Structures are given as structure tokens and as C-alpha cells.
Amino acid sequence: MNPYHYKNNQLCIENLAIKQIEKTVKTPFYCYSQSTIHGAYQSYTSNLQQLDTMICYAVKANSNQAIIKTLADLGSGADVVSEGELRRALKAGVQAQKIVYSGVAKTSHEIQFALENEIFQFNVESENELDLLNQVACQLNKKAAIAFRINPDVDAHTHEKISTGKSENKFGIPISKARDIYRKAANLEGIIVQGVDVHIGSQLTDLAPFQMAFDRIKLLVLDLEKENISINVIDVGGGLGVNYENHENVSYGIEAYCQMLQKAFADMNCKIILEPGRSLVANSGLLISKVIYTKQGEDRDFLIIDAAMNDLIRPSMYDAYHDILPISNSNNQATYDIVGPVCETGDTFARNRTIPQMNEGDLLAIATVGAYGSVMASTYNTRLQIPEVLVKDQTSSIIKARTDYETLINQDSLASWQ
Ligand SMILES: *Cc1c(COP(=O)(O)O)cnc(C)c1O
């Protein structure tokens, strides 16, 4: 499901030519298709009708207010991992009772803020966090509804930096210790035990690890019931992969995943929470950039573009592949290393990539950047944070303006003795 197509050899997002956006927004910039996000959300809801579900969009994938609101308007909740994300979700109009709070290092201040806002659930990742949560809840005379994030010791077969469900990862409570901690929590004054949570990693290319994790979680829920600890909520996390390459390498879609969920949990009588991030927003986004220079090296040609690793870090951080498309299509092909201006060899978007031939001043689009793109941007090399644009049919709207040098530089101040 791509948001883009060519019309008269001009790349369009929805029904708007990229060239048209570029008349008023200087490159580099992100643009997102709203209808692609709608489509992804509806793939979930239309395939989950046999379960009582709540979709909590994992805000960290793209936390722009307009993106969160796009999903909140469809009924989505939010999965947040910090006070900042919680504030963003509330401000964008997500109901507190549709918010779950994940993350390994919630501080007492963050916990207090979340309790005061009466969110739906804390996903607790350790015994120490449980103790702190109980303590803060008691002080505020509140009760914290919790699920424990269980580490099922399943290999998600994904990039090591985004695998979270193996016993060596920092996430969650080992499944072997789960029963003890549930027993403890059930007796705490400030805690209401309501759920079980699992999230084994991101960009999974296969359904099998999900199935294995869900089987283990199901057994745990049945075990807990024998001990009179009743579980009403099963939070299955996110992690669905998207196809970054024009040849498909993710072996399933949202529909197949949902069918598996329905099968796995049909007989459980629980509310099922999903926390998709990437699979809701990745496909919607393009990063538009301009060729500053072409350069002939000894053994290869370079395209030096105005976007850099600080705008999109996935290629250098995860060795990620992104399709790169010309804005004006042509038949002549050429092979390039496509690199940014930052003083790091890692500032490379593609090596040895064959695409239609490009010249200085031409525009190109880096595809599938709606998730973990702009949210991971920095101002490294004192580069300005780039704009984001939301597109709906033939219209576009700036949803984040470019910062200016004054604002950026004035964030620093001299030391008192200077
Ligand atoms: C990152 C994260 C998600 C979302 O993962 P995706 O791979 O983007 O779907 C969901 N839940 C938790 C706890 C996460 O950390």
C-alpha cells in the first residue's frame, strides 16, 4: 500500500504532485499521506471484528500532533513511553482511558503525571517499578491499573537493535518469574492487576515468533486464573513489519496477523490491546530531497543530496533499505552512492543503487519513512530540523515548520564566567 504514484512522469502523493508542494516548502522535508494512515488503521479494525480490541498507536513511531490526531479521530488510543509522549497524546485528543504507558524506566514524576491523568494501564517491566508505582499511587490515594510486560524468551528474528523479547534483552519480566510477581502485585494496596503484556520486537518479517509468544502468554493467563488472579486485558504489543524493498520480504500483512490474533484469543474473554507503530504510519511518508552535487569518484558516482543522516537515521543506524524515487521519472538509468552532507561516512542513504539518472537540482523521494523518521531526527552538524507536511487528496498543510538558526543557536547560553 503505497501513497505515491506517477502521473505524466511526475511523482504524486495522494493526488498532489510533489513539485507542487516544493513550490512553497523548501527541501528537505517529510510529507505524509493521510489516507494511507487511514487505510492501515482500517486494515486492523476491519479484520478484528470478532475480538474486543483497543488499538493503541505506538506514538514513538511518529509523534507529530497531526499524525496522532489523524489516528485519534478514527478512535485510536495511544501507547506512550515517556511523559512527553503522554502529554503529546493527550494534547492531540487521545482519551486518557485509551492510553497505555510502556517503558523500562518510568520515573516517580512520570508515574505521578500519568496517575493524575487516569490513564488506562501501566505496562510494568520490573519489580522495582511495581514497588515505586504502588508507593506513588498510595501517596496520591489512587490505584494504578497494571499489566506486566512479560519477556517470553522468543527470538523475533529481527535486527538486533530492535529485538526485545529474548531473555538477554533489558525488557520485561522473565516468564519464569511471572507468577511470583503477579501474586505479589495482587496484594498491593495501590495496584489493580488487570493484564498481561508482551512486545517482542519491531519489523518482524514472519508471523511465527508472534504465534510462539502468544501461546506462551495464553498459558500464563490460564495459570494465573488457577491462582485466582484474573486477567481481563491481553496487550500483544506491536512489531509488525512493513516492506521497505520493492521486492517483498515481510511474509504477511495486517490481515493475516489479525486472523492469527482472532484465532489465538477467541476463547479468552479478554480485551485485546494492540500497540502498532510502524505498520500504521511507515508507508505514508516520503522524505523529499534535492540533489546538490553530482560527483564522480574513482570507481563510483555519487549523488550528494540535501537530506542527511540527522534527518533520517535508519540507514546508518539499522542498515535500513529505503526505496529512492525520482520526482520526475525518466528512462535513462544510472548507478549511484546516494549520500548526505554530514561529515560522517555513515551519512549514506544507499550504495550502488540504480535509479533513473539525476542531475544537480533534481528532486528525489526516499520512501517508507513515516515511522522512525522525523522522530529520530537531530540537529547534528547544526542542521535545522526539517518541516513535515500532511497531504489529503489535493491539499497539503505544514504540520511542523522548519526551525531557524536563531532559535536553534539561542538554545545554548554562555557559562556564568564567560
Ligand atoms: C516500539 C514499541 C511498539 C511499536 O512497535 P512497532 O514495531 O513500531 O509496531 C509497541 N509497543 C512497545 C512497548 C514498543 O516499545
The alpha-carbon radius of gyration of the chain (Å, integer) is: 23
Average pLDDT value for residue range 182-191: 97
Query: Are both 234 and 300 inside the same structural domain?
Result: no
Say how many domains are in the chain.
Answer: 2
Tens of pLDDT, residue by residue over 81-92, are 999 999 999 999
Q: What is the dihedral of CA 170, 172, 176, 180, to 10 degrees?
A: 130
Tens of pLDDT, residue by residue over 13-37, are 999 999 999 999 999 999 999 999 9
Ligand 1 geometric centre to CA of 58 (Å): 6
Ligand 1 geometric centre to CA of 309 (Å): 22
- pLDDT for residue 404 is more than 80: yes
| Pocket of ligand 1 contains residue 61 by CB under 6 Å | yes
Q: Ligand 1 atom 10: the closest Cα is on which residue?
A: 238
Average pLDDT value for residue range 108-123: 98
pLDDT of residue 248: 63
Task: Please list the alpha-helical segments (H only) found in 15-96.
Answer: 18-22, 34-46, 65-72, 83-91
pLDDT of residue 344: 86
- Cα→Cα distances 241→126, 210, 254, 316, Å: 27, 12, 9, 19
Q: Report the C-alpha gap between 115 and 19 in whole angstroms.
A: 47
251: domain CATH number? Answer: 3.20.20.10
Residue 93 forms part of a structural domain = no
Query: Are both 170 and 133 inside the same structural domain?
Result: yes
Query: Are both 131 and 172 inside the same structural domain?
Result: yes
| Pocket of ligand 1 contains residue 199 by CB under 6 Å | yes
Domain boundary among 239, 274, 309: 274
pLDDT of residue 225: 94
Give residue 171's pLDDT band: very low, low, confident or very high (50, 70, 90): confident
Q: Any catalytic annotation for residue 343?
A: yes
Tens of pLDDT, residue by residue over 323-345, are 999 999 989 999 999 999 998 88
pLDDT of residue 354: 96
User: Could you identify the atom of ligand 1 that is nearest to the CA of residue 238?
Assistant: 9
| Pocket of ligand 1 contains residue 79 by CB under 6 Å | yes
pLDDT of residue 297: 87
Residue 141 forms part of a structural domain = yes
* Partner residues linked to 55 by β-bridges: 274
Q: Report the C-alpha gap between 205 and 210 in whole angstroms.
A: 10
Query: Are both 290 and 147 inside the same structural domain?
Result: no
Give the chain's mean pLDDT.
95
Query: Are both 218 and 120 inside the same structural domain?
Result: yes
Query: Are both 22 and 153 inside the same structural domain?
Result: no
Q: Report the C-alpha gap between 368 and 1 in whole angstroms.
A: 10
Give residue 247's pLDDT band: very low, low, confident or very high (50, 70, 90): low
Q: What is the dihedral of CA 116, 120, 124, 128, to 10 degrees?
A: 20
Residue 285 near residue 32 (C-beta atoms within 8 A): yes
Exposed e or buried b per residue across 323-362, where buried means at least 16 C-beta atoms within 10 angstroms of its C-beta:
bbbbbbeeeeeeebbbbbbbeeeebbbbeebebbbbeeeb
Query: Are both 243 and 286 inside the same structural domain?
Result: no
Residue 188 φ/ψ region, left for φ over 0, alpha for ψ in the -120 to 50 degree band, beta for the rest: beta
Domain boundary among 274, 295, 313: 274
Query: Are both 286 and 392 inside the same structural domain?
Result: yes
Ligand 1 geometric centre to CA of 56 (Å): 10
Residue 119, C-alpha cell as written in the block: 490513564
Exposed, middle or buried by CB within 10 Å (0-12, 13-18, 19+), for 248? exposed
- pLDDT for residue 246 is more than 70: no
Residue 61 forms part of a structural domain = no
Quote the domain boundaries for residue 144: 103-274
Residue 85 forms part of a structural domain = no
Query: Are both 149 and 234 inside the same structural domain?
Result: yes
Query: Are both 176 and 199 inside the same structural domain?
Result: yes
Give residue 1's pLDDT band: very low, low, confident or very high (50, 70, 90): low
pLDDT of residue 345: 84
**12, 56, 270, 343: which is the annotated catalytic residue?**
343
Domain boundary among 234, 254, 274: 274
